[in-house]
Amino acid sequence: MLVEAVKLLSGEPGYQGYGLFADREVGKIIMGSWWESLEQAQASNEHLQQRRAELLAPFASSQSVMTTEALAFTPSPQVEAGGGFRLGRFQLPLENLDKMAEQFRSAAVPAFQATPGFAGAALLADRRTGLGSVGTLWATREALVASRSAQAASRAKAVAETSMNLIALEEFEVVLLDRRD
């Protein structure tokens, strides 16, 4: 399935990457793809929707698709299988999205970069709803665990400065990361 997923996606115009992450204890997987534009992401979703459902049927009893814009990110993260991925899902007032992106670039990313084992980060959001996520990649599971307090401090600052409402915080194992940017 992993090879076929990357093969299918990489044939689509604007493809820049794919990640597959698992919480083996809970039995949950999350996937994300990276595109040059929102339009290309939406076109790929429409084109591959049926095949994706077929590929995931043996592994997932339910699926949810969300298309978001990358408001800020670190380029070309490289993490091997077994690395760590933390995902924070949030909602905030639409008028605070740009402020959040600036705070992410100017304060959060430098704080993450100072943390051993940091490999990459992205701030994604839907400008129509204010729903979004912050994903951070860590070289190892140990680095992910060791980064919890530093990342909590960055999250607390974002909550205070942007009226962000943290909805969920999850941690996963990196199963596959393919980035081409």
CB burial of residue 166 (10 Å; 0-12, 13-18, 19+) = middle
pLDDT at 3: 74
With 70 as the cut, is the pLDDT of residue 2 above it?
Answer: no
Q: What is the pTM of this model?
A: 0.90
* Nearest to 113, CA basis, from 103, 101, 121: 121
Q: At 164, give phi and psi (nearest 5°).
A: -70, 140
pLDDT tens sequence across 88-123: 999 999 999 999 999 999 999 999 999 999 999 999
Q: What is the tens place of the pLDDT at every residue in 39-73? A: 998 898 888 888 878 877 777 777 777 889 999 99
Q: Dihedral sign for Cα 60, 151, 101, 78, please.
A: negative
**Which CATH number is 69's domain given?**
3.30.70.100
Quote the domain boundaries for residue 18.
2-179
Q: For 135-176, how does the pLDDT look when each residue is reduced to its tens digit (9 = 90+)?
A: 999 999 999 999 999 999 999 988 898 999 999 999 999 999
Number of separate domains in the chain = 1
